[in-house]
């Protein structure tokens, strides 16, 4: 019997091409037919049911273990600690918690299937996981009914899509390993090599303004919000002590915790005897079809460029933001100007040494730093300004709902127009559409989602450009500790910083405020490392390797030797990568992406980011912009596009901020030669009269618009 089994195994392994990560890249959702046929024999209803039963049993044990964890520490995370700021950053909701818990059960069932049926036949875990992603839960299973109920209750597609299949060591959920079989270097070991590097920036320093950083983070918040896992009773999870030390095993969550180990000789943390950086794994999604397979993560933001960070991602969240009078959003008035309304203190970090005020908007991250808070404020003002103007020019029979809908439409279109300006600055003018020629997931629903690669790596480039101060205020003192924007001098200081303060160059050097002081206590002078967190999150999300995305974005050109990167990266960065990773195939996407030289374009202004991130960013932004064409109807689209033809970021600042002059391109420092400052009176303003007339004359024009916008946000 054993001889027969071995013979079958040898035959199978010789007839299908098993994945060899050392020799070739990650396949795009394809398996050899012979392997699929063989795996189908294992995927019987009884075997899948057996796997699901095992998954439920493991979850029940986990729930009992959580009781001991909660009993051994305070139930609530300290509001003055870094873990609390991380919690706000990935704030879970009851809906995301319910979906994550059920997804966790399905993941454990998938792991059981891999170990029970694939490992025993020496079938690579990657390919087994890829096969399972096409296996739906049996409709007879109680888990299927729970899954369908959760999916049908969702208001928007809240799972990231993938440009390449997930890469987990076990095919399902454990962090990938080096192609040598060893563990990858700690995320902090990798990041510290770059943070400790000395030398001047060589990526055209001083050319771009802090507005570029501000808008990059604001756009990220519109399209991506990765939430964190919680315990089954909703209790928060913490994976390190408040002193950045390791928790005793009995107090550390076995599934959700993936803390970043810090070497005892770390160049910064050794002075603080810190050996642990908190990281709670991201919440997982069920997708839309209740299937087995590798983990994928939840996205609590909408997939549209719809200002959901201002208006909210759901209908209920949007209703909370409104006054329901005159089409306006809630605000507080001071000196006849709109400011964000006060929010719950739970959305800010408590610090006894600082006096803070907490603001409310459509996203829990509104208070993360002054740049983000300011842009929320400006778009709030823009909406209410539009609603007020509409009320003056529209017929008296227009209701609050009509005024709100049209003000939101125009405000969102203004936003998208500026996003196009931002995209040109980031990826260069004269560039072509992303080199990704087709979507690897043909499912139409999947195409409407945000890519995991964009959300988890590519858009995170802006942290390398983050200045260490906002004006003359250290950034460290401002993370989730907002100051009072109603103080006129402070507000003007923020505007001046956005328009005239230089952003850092995009390279692998990060300022201290995000390299090891992120979210940290002002008194202790210690915090987190944003690059280490981004590396860890990429591994948590099962992103493929940098070389795989380089090949995907560069016509299939593969990198299999360090020397091939000499034309792509700076020599000092390449030297660090060589000394840190065992093989070039091990490099994480976020690390390789920020280490690339800026992309050269065929014509016009060059890019800020390198070719791989340029490809991933452009793919997502162009997709989002294209999908949203036609949502308001062809006639309205033509009118709004014409109205905004000459409107841009500079005029937006004039309309919402206390400025009389502004440079033509707000993302670059003013220059009398190629970026002059202009009087606001020289910049075209908006005229809403024709739009109002068209909506009012067209029979049922605005109700149709309302339905389209509701559908677009769903």
pLDDT in tens, 425-457: 999 875 444 556 555 554 555 668 999 999 999
CB 361 within 8 A of CB 375: no
Which of 485-494, 678-687, 696-705 has the weakest average pLDDT? 696-705
Q: What is the pLDDT of residues 300-326, one digit of tens each?
A: 999 999 999 999 998 899 999 999 999
> Does residue 197 surpass a pLDDT of 70?
no
Q: How far apart are CA 304 and CA 713, in angstroms?
A: 7
CB 124 within 8 A of CB 18: yes
Domains identified in the chain and CATH numbers: 308-523+598-712 (1.10.640.10)
Q: What is the pLDDT of residues 201-223, one digit of tens each?
A: 443 456 899 999 999 999 999 99
CB 158 within 8 A of CB 298: yes
For 611, residues 6+ apart whose C-beta sits below 8 A from its C-beta are 550, 553, 554, 568, 596, 599
Tokens of 503: 């952003």
Do the strands 276-277 and 260-261 form a parallel or antiparallel pair, or are they unpaired?
Answer: antiparallel
| H-helix segments, 76-141 | 82-89, 94-113, 125-132
DSSP character for 271?
Answer: G
Annotated binding-site residue? 195 = no
In this prediction, residues 535-552 reach a mean pLDDT of 97
In our burial notation (b when 16+ CB lie closer than 10 A, e otherwise), range 447-468 reads: ebbbbbbbbbbbbbbbbbbbbe
Q: Is 327 left (phi over 0), alpha (psi -120 to 50) or beta?
A: left
Which residues on neighbouring strands pair with residue 474, listed in sequence order?
469
Where does the pLDDT of residue 599 fall: very low under 50, low under 70, confident under 90, or very high at 90 and above? confident
Q: How far apart are CA 453 and CA 322, in angstroms?
A: 34
3-class DSSP assignment, residue 375: helix
Q: Which residue has the tokens 């699901």?
A: 52
Q: What is the pLDDT of residues 41-88, one digit of tens each?
A: 999 999 999 999 999 999 999 888 888 787 655 556 888 789 999 999
Q: What is the pLDDT of residues 96-108, one digit of tens each?
A: 999 999 999 999 9
* Rounded alpha-carbon distances, angstroms, from residue 680 to 400, 648, 649, 656: 30, 12, 12, 11
Where does the pLDDT of residue 1 fall: very low under 50, low under 70, confident under 90, or very high at 90 and above? very low
Q: Is 528 exposed, middle or buried (0-12, 13-18, 19+ CB in 10 A)?
A: buried
DSSP character for 159?
Answer: B
The pLDDT, as a whole number, for residue 67 is 81
In the chain, % of residues over pLDDT 90: 67
The pLDDT, as a whole number, for residue 439 is 53
Which of 75-79, 148-152, 530-534 has the weakest average pLDDT? 75-79
291 φ, ψ (degrees, to nearest 5): -125, 165
Q: Output Rg (C-alpha) for the chain, integer angstroms.
A: 26
Query: Between residues 155 and 346, which one has the greater pLDDT?
Result: 346
In this prediction, residues 570-590 reach a mean pLDDT of 97
CB 299 within 8 A of CB 446: no
The pLDDT, as a whole number, for residue 556 is 86
In the chain, % of residues over pLDDT 70: 86
The pLDDT, as a whole number, for residue 701 is 52
The pLDDT, as a whole number, for residue 64 is 86
H or E element that contains 474: strand 473-474
H or E element that contains 337: strand 337-339
Which stretches does DSSP call E strand in 173-293?
A: 260-261, 276-277
H or E element that contains 354: none
């Amino acid at each position: 019997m054993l001889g027969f089994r071995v013979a079958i195994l040898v035959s199978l392994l010789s007839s299908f091409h098993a994945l060899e990560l050392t020799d070739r890249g990650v396949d795009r959702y394809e398996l050899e037919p012979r392997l699929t046929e063989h795996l189908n024999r294992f995927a019987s209803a009884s075997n899948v049911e057996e796997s699901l039963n095992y998954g439920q049993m493991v979850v029940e044990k986990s729930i009992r273990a959580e009781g001991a964890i909660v009993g051994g520490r305070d139930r609530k995370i300290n509001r003055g600690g870094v873990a609390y700021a991380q919690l706000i950053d990935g704030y879970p909701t009851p809906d995301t918690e319910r979906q994550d818990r059920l997804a966790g059960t399905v993941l454990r069932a998938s792991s059981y299937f891999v170990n029970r049926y694939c490992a025993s036949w020496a079938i690579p875990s990657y390919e087994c996981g890829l096969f399972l992603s096409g296996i739906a839960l049996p409709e007879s299973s109680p888990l299927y009914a729970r899954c369908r109920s959760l999916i049908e209750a969702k208001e928007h597609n809240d799972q990231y899509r993938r440009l390449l299949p997930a890469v987990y060591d076990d095919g399902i959920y454990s962090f990938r390993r080096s192609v040598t079989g060893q563990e990858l270097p700690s995320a902090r070991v990798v990041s510290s090599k770059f943070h400790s590097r000395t030398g001047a920036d060589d990526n055209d320093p001083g050319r771009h303004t802090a507005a570029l950083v501000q808008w990059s983070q604001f756009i990220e918040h519109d399209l991506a919000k990765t939430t964190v896992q919680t315990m089954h009773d909703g209790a928060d999870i913490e994976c390190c002590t408040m002193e950045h030390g390791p928790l005793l095993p009995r107090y550390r969550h076995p599934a959700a915790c993936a803390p970043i180990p810090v070497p005892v000789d770390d160049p910064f943390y050794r002075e603080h005897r810190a050996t642990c950086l908190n990281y709670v794994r991201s919440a997982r999604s069920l997708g839309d079809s209740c299937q087995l397979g590798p983990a994928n993560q939840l996205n609590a933001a909408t997939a549209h460029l719809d200002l959901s960070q201002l208006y909210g991602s759901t209908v209920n969240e949007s209703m909370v933001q409104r006054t329901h009078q005159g089409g306006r959003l809630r605000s507080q008035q001071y000196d006849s100007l709109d400011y964000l309304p006060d929010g719950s203190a739970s959305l800010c970090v408590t610090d006894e040494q600082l006096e803070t005020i907490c603001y409310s908007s459509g996203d829990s991250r509104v208070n993360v730093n002054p740049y983000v808070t300011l842009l929320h404020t400006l778009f709030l003002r823009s909406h209410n300004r539009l609603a007020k103007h509409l009320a003056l020019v529209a017929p008296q029979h227009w209701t609050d709902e009509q005024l709100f809908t049209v003000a939101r439409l125009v405000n969102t279109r203004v936003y998208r127009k500026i996003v196009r300006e931002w995209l040109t600055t980031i990826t260069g003018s004269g560039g072509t559409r992303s080199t990704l020629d087709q979507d690897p997931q043909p499912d139409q629903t999947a195409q409407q989602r945000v890519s995991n690669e964009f959300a988890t790596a590519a858009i995170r480039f802006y942290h390398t450009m983050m200045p260490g101060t906002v004006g003359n205020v250290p950034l460290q003192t401002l993370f989730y500790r907002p100051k009072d924007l109603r103080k006129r001098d402070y507000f003007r200081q923020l505007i001046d910083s956005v328009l005239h303060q230089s952003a850092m160059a995009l390279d692998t050097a990060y300022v201290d405020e995000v390299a090891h002081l992120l979210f940290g206590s002002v008194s202790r002078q210690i915090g987190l490392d944003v690059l280490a967190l981004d590396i860890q999150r990429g591994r948590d999300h099962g992103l493929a390797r940098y070389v795989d995305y380089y090949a995907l974005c560069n016509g299939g050109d593969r990198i299999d030797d360090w020397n091939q990167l000499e034309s792509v990266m700076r020599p000092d960065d390449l030297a660090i990568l060589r000394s840190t990773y065992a093989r070039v195939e091990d490099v994480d996407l976020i690390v390789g992406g920020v280490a690339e030289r800026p992309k050269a374009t065929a014509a016009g202004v060059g890019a800020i980011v390198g070719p791989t991130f340029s490809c991933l960013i452009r793919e997502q932004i162009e997709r989002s912009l294209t999908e949203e064409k036609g949502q308001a109807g062809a006639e309205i689209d033509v009118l709004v596009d014409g109205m905004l033809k000459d409107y841009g970021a500079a005029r937006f600042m004039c309309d919402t901020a206390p400025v009389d002059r502004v440079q033509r391109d707000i993302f670059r420092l003013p220059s009398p030669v190629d970026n002059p400052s202009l009087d606001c009176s020289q910049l075209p303003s908006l005229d809403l009269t024709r739009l109002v007339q068209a909506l009012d004359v067209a029979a049922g024009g605005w109700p149709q618009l309302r339905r389209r916008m509701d559908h677009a946000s769903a």
